[in-house]
Structure 1
Amino acid sequence: MSVLDFYRRPLRNLRISVTDRCNLRCRYCMPEAEYVWLPRRDLLTFEEISTLVDVFMELGVNKVRLTGGEPLLRRDLPELVSMLSAKPLKDLAMTTNGVLLAGHVEALKKAGLNRITVSLDTLRADRSKTLSQRATHPSVLKGIASVAPAGFTDTKIDTVALNGVNDDELIDLIEFGRTVPAEVRFIEYMDVGGATAWSPDLVLSRAEMLTRISAHYGPVTPLPNPDGAPADRFALPDGTTFGIVSSTTRPFCATCDRSRLTADGLWYLCLYAMEGVNLRDPLREGATKAELAELISGAWRARTDRGAVDRLAERDRMPFVPLTALKRDPHLEMHTRGG
């Protein structure tokens, strides 16, 4: 069954945050000293997540990505992976900051995880400590090094490119990706959630990235994107590929098929959405799968979200959510809704 929204975008990709907690405090995501955490009693159990995934699959979802916070902080995560990998999904992936990855990678592979994406914003330990406010860079590199030996392929490295901060490492990161091996995806700095210090001056644009990369390697070739993935992919003259997620300067809202389920069961239809659909309470109150499917499909059919496009049209663009609003509602944070 294929459910289409107002703009005829299918419900296809589901990102599931398994915890809102994180062991880093990246300045572009979680810069504050203190946060309001979701009550543990409100978090979905693995069985509840599995049930909701069954319903989403009936409505067309065929790709699931586990996120956080940092997903490896959720105890016994391989158990959830085993439950989900038994389903006929096209892809089951996970995004992690890599700090704990080396200790879990073999169990995740055995449980049936298909792919891993690791966040890596810099190759420099001192710069990493400044960005993440933690001295965990060696553990991240160790985690990345453990992925291929565990049997994973099609690995991705996500880098938030910040003008004047790590923009001098584009080439170094591409070269590092060759050694993993992994495809590096550069992400424009977005003004969402905890990006309370966001400024247009900090955004390294897709156009500027391509200019710098082409100046070093020679002309790059755009690659097809049949699945409507968020990253525009390119090939260097020698065939090495990389991606750019240009949500800030060239939004992909027209083809966005992604939605996000928080760890406590709120379903967000857009990264910029201010409100989500509560799926936890109906589930715990005994709603049938058919009733849940009706709730989900109805919300998706009414979806008109084009958050990044709307933001791009604003004349005086400032951080999307002020700190006072974030403190009132932790669901507005990107570490809660899975980024």
Structure 2
Amino acid sequence: MIRAFAAALFDGTTVVHDPAVGTNHLPPQPLRSGCVALDDQQVAAWPLADPAALALDYPLSMCWSPIVRCNLACPQCLDDKTVRESTAAERRVLAGHIAASGVLGVDISGGEPLLLRDLPDLALAIRRQGTSVVSCTTNGWHLARRAGKLADALDAIRVSLDGATAATHDTWRGQDSYRRAIAGIRAAVDEGLFVQLQMVLMQANKHEAQQLLDLAAQLGAGGVTFLQMLPIGSGAALAAEQMLTDEQAQEIVAPLTVPAGVRVRLRTRTSAGGFTVLRADGYAWRNTRGATGISAFIPVTGPGDLRLPTSGSTS
């Protein structure tokens, strides 16, 4: 499949960011900087880029959570629900700062970002600069009705599933959440959006990892990202019961049979360290200590405030 990626040159090295999978790659030949259309299977075969080895003073990609509100109440949620939400005007300003920062990839998350009426406008404002690709992470509840407008605004969409079956997923997310998410995925695929499924690996759902890959192929999703649980937010209370070690997660993912056309990524806690997050109140911070703490907590008043040091990061 040909889809959008972002490329940039750093001290003679070209780096390509994948907005769906969230990975960074080293192409075998130089590419023009900015948004580029590439074959995703070809990009998948390129070596992964290590930001630490590039000696960057700012992140290649980041997460922006412009909303705290959510229509679901997942017990493993890592969000701080006490944070003040930016106003619509403040969100527009922050989108402008992100667009001018040089960051290659931006994932708009939450809370539940599809509750924002201005979500398409925010994504387009970031993309308008021509240097960043934009994805969105959603629980999928409202995706079916919003897929049409989002298809023109996003480069990829990531849908969170806590299991490959309604029985497992709805145990964590609530009744009917699986049906709504699946309907949203189908609608997004029909609109031409590249869909990446995401599942936080836990003791309770690890047995459905293979089923999730098969479901992705069945629905026409382009890939699956398995995320290691982070012991922060509400999820901290479940860590002792549900959290896997990075080694255990690797043992689960390594033997899986990957269907043709489906890309798989395991994001370990180690690789999540150093990732930059812009909160709903306009403060930016980095994950530290294996993504179990934060540092560089500053208000974002201009593009330069997002250029947080990423020494030791592999995100």
Fold shared by both chains (TM-score > 0.5): yes
Distance 1:130 1:88, change over 3 A: same
Pair 1:44–1:275, CA change in 2 (3 A): farther
User: Which of 248, 260, 264 is the matching residue for 2:281?
Assistant: 264
Report the secondary structure of 1:198's partner residue.
helix
Residue 234 of structure 2: SS of its match in structure 1?
A: coil
Higher relative helix content? 1
Following superposition, the deviation at residue 199 of structure 1 comes to 3.0
- Write the distance in 2 (CA, Å) between the matches of 1:262 and 1:201: 28
> Counterpart of 2:180 in 1: which secondary structure?
helix
**Distance in 2 between residues matched to 1:31 and 1:87, nearest whole Å:** 29
Cα distance, 1:142–1:253 mapped onto 2, change above 3 Å: closer
Q: Output one character per residue of 1:126-153: Cα deviation in whole Å (capped at 9) or x when no partner.
A: 3323212454221111011112110113
Work out whether 1:203 is the aligned partner of 2:243: yes
Please give the root-mean-square deviation of Cα atoms over the aligned residues, in Å: 3.3
The DSSP-based 3-state class of the residue aligned with 1:197 is helix
Distance 1:237 1:50 in 2: 37
Deviation of the 1:194 alpha carbon: 2.2
1:66 alignment partner AA: I
The equivalent of 2:55 in structure 1 is 8
The residue aligned with 2:121 is 79
Counterparts of 2:99 and 2:75 in 1: how far apart (Å)?
36
What's the CA shift for 1:274? 5.5
Give the letter for the 1:277 counterpart: I
Shift of 1:69: 0.8
Does structure 1 residue 278 correspond to structure 2 residue 299? yes
- Structure 2, gaps ≥5 residues long: 1-8, 12-50
**1:277-296 matches, cutoff 5 A:** 277-279=298-300, 283=301, 292-293=302-303, 295-296=305-306
Aligned length: 262
Mapping of residues 149-298 of structure 1, within 5 Å? 149-153=190-194, 155-163=195-203, 165-182=204-221, 183-212=223-252, 217=257, 236=258, 240-247=262-269, 251-252=270-271, 256=274, 258-270=275-287, 272-273=293-294, 276-279=297-300, 283=301, 292-293=302-303, 295-297=305-307
Between structures 1 and 2, the one with greater strand share: 2
TM-score computed with the length of structure 1 as normaliser: 0.66
* Structure 2 residue 105 is the aligned partner of structure 1 residue 63: yes
Cα 1:264/1:199, change in 2 over 3 Å: closer
Query: 1:52 corresponds to which residue?
Result: 97
Compare relative contact order (CA 8 Å, sep 6+) and give the higher one, 1 or 2.
Answer: 1
1:275 Cα offset (Å): 6.1
Q: Tell which structure's C-alpha radius of gyration is larger.
A: 1
Q: 1:119 aligns with which of 160, 184, 187?
A: 160
Code of the aligned partner of 1:48: V
Structure 2 length-normalised TM:
0.71
